[in-house]
Amino acid sequence: MNTMDSIRSDANRCFVCGPGNASGLQLKFRLQDDECVSTFTPGELHCGYDGITHGGIIFSVLDDVMANWLYLRGMKAVTAKCDIRFKSSLPTGESVSVRSWCTRQRGPLAMLSAEMRIISTNMLISECDASFMIQK
């Protein structure tokens, strides 16, 4: 499985990627080489300040691209810890790319990194490192 074509029924209502969540973002993730990737264009409903994407939305998208790096490889995992660094604000209407990759996996823990960049300029919006607990 390297795309979200057969999403698990227990993730159908996920705010970021669940196709059954009409209020969610409904992002589609896919594996590309050793990374999980997607794109996203925030709208006015995703604002903190007018015209600026809420940091919680940015965090949620980055968290999910990392979780999906594991999911698309057949592992169900939950976030244990995440360190996010915001580098620039994200204007609504700007399309971004997100990507994640695994930096280490040991036992039930996986360490991943992710970043979000504006597609048109390659400007780094945010980056993060996280630990995930792989579920049995």
Using one digit for the tens of pLDDT, what is the confidence trace for 3-35?
Answer: 555 555 666 878 788 888 888 888 899 999 999
Q: Dihedral, CA atoms, 136, 109, 63, 34, nearest 10 degrees?
A: -100
CB neighbour list of residue 19: distance below 8 Å, 6 or more residues apart: 7, 12, 26
* DSSP category for residue 9: G
Q: Are 101 and 34 in contact (CB under 8 A)?
A: yes
Q: Does the structure show a pLDDT above 90 at 84? A: yes
Nearest to 95 by CA among 40, 50, 57: 40
Query: CA separation (Å) from 91 to 47, 79, 118?
Result: 9, 27, 10
pLDDT band at 82, cuts 50/70/90? very high
Using one digit for the tens of pLDDT, what is the confidence trace for 85-99?
Answer: 999 999 999 999 999
For residue 89, the domain's CATH number is 3.10.129.10
Domain that holds residue 49: 4-134
Mean pLDDT of 97-119: 98
End-to-end, the C-alpha distance of the chain in Å comes to: 18
Question: What is the identity of the amino acid at 24?
Answer: G
Q: Structurally, how many domains does the chain consist of?
A: 1
